[in-house]
Amino acid sequence: MKLGFWHKMTVTIPAALEERGSALLVALGAQGVWVEEAGEQVHLNVFFPESVSVADAEGLIQGAFVALLPEKLEIRSERLPEEEWQTAWQTHSIPIQQIGEKLVIVPPWEKNRLIASNRKVIVLSPGMAFGTGTHATTHNCLVMLEKAVLKVGEGRLLDVGTGSGILAIAAAKLGVRHITATEIDPVALAVAQENAKANRVVSKMIFRASIPAHSRYNCLLANLTSSVLLELSERLTQAVLPGGTLVLSGMLKGAHEAVLARFQTACTLIQLKEKDNWVSLFMQKK
């Protein structure tokens, strides 16, 4: 197959206008926008096929941004072979993320850059599963997981709705020895298994489609939705040993109140964390 060329156009605007600028570019037909932070500014990178001339693309962008920024925009352009364009996109679809005090997430193509890191490195391929660490709900879970592992030690952990496997892999890297990860989506489960293998922690994990009926855990992670948390509340609390910890996430602010009330019958709230309108709860079973 013959690969074509693409124009990578980089628009630099004040960081405060990131969301509105990205929306304008998407409306112009850009195939996704990836954002690089640069202090008070952001670089918005977009790709146009070679069939659109640079002059036309610049004209379109300048025209679209007039209402947002009165002064002339700074736009850079670069011609990339298709293959490189795909790689450039991929490189930025999972940024290197230092999370909490001990973890760092990297895409596979960046892992050699972190050989000397004193953090626990999680190598993650996005695949077709949720969980790259960039979403507030996953981020909160990872921060709370560090605390949960400190509190209950390195015993047994259940990750309900593992997605890409990110939380289960993080738990293994933090020292948890026995991890059960459940997932109802078979595609996500396959991605999670691949990621666990790539991180050399697969021997610590059991993957399942459902929560085991009779096992009890020191720690439970459940980044789901408010309605699924409510639906599964009894199963989830039953699965945790007295004194064990629960990290519940995936609730939109407001909807979290019903979940908190339900779980408070069997658990005590240790911490509530809010990020980007998403709420996560760190609780301890009574």
Ligand X SMILES: C[S@@+](CC[C@H](N)C(=O)[O-])C[C@H]1O[C@@H](n2cnc3c(N)ncnc32)[C@H](O)[C@@H]1O
Do residues 157 and 219 lie in contact, with contact meaning Cβ atoms separated by under 8 Å? yes
Answer yes or no whether residue 226 interacts with ligand X by CB under 6 A.
no
State how far the Cα of 165 lies from the Cα of 174, in Å rounded to an integer.
14
Can you tell me the distance from the alpha carbon of 195 to that of 202, in angstroms, rounded to the nearest whole number? Answer: 9
Query: Least distance to ligand X from the beta carbon of 214, Å?
Result: 17
Q: Rounded to the nearest whole angstrom, what is the least distance from the CB of residue 121 to ligand X in the complex?
A: 17
**From the list 120, 163, 196, 278, which residue makes contact with ligand X (rule: CB under 6 A)?**
163
SS3 state at 281: strand
C-alpha separations of 200 from 121, 203, 215, 272 in Å: 11, 8, 25, 32
Q: Please report whether residue 154 would count as binding ligand X according to CB under 6 A.
A: no
Q: In what side-by-side order are the strands of the sheet with 41-49?
A: 34-38, 41-49, 5-14, 74-81
Stretch that binds ligand X, among 44-52, 115-123, 163-171, 237-245 (CB under 6 A): 163-171
d(Cα 158, Cα 146) in Å, to the nearest integer?
15
Near ligand X in 70-89, by CB under 6 A:
none
Shortest spacing between CB 256 and ligand X, in angstroms: 14
In the complex with ligand X, the residue whose CB is nearer, 30 or 170, is 170
Q: How far apart are the first and last CA of the chain?
A: 61
Of 68, 96, 198, 228, the one binding ligand X by CB under 6 A: 228
The minimum distance between CB 141 and ligand X, in angstroms, equals 5
Q: Binding to ligand X by residue 160, rule CB under 6 A?
A: yes
130 binds ligand X (CB under 6 A): yes
- Distance CA(6)–CA(49), nearest Å, equals 5
Q: Closer CB to ligand X, residue 146 or residue 183?
A: 183
Return the SS3 of 3.
Answer: coil
Which range in 36-44, 99-107, 158-166, 278-286 contacts ligand X by CB under 6 A? 158-166
Site for ligand X, rule CB under 6 A: 130-131, 138, 141, 160-163, 166-167, 182-185, 188, 223-224, 228, 250
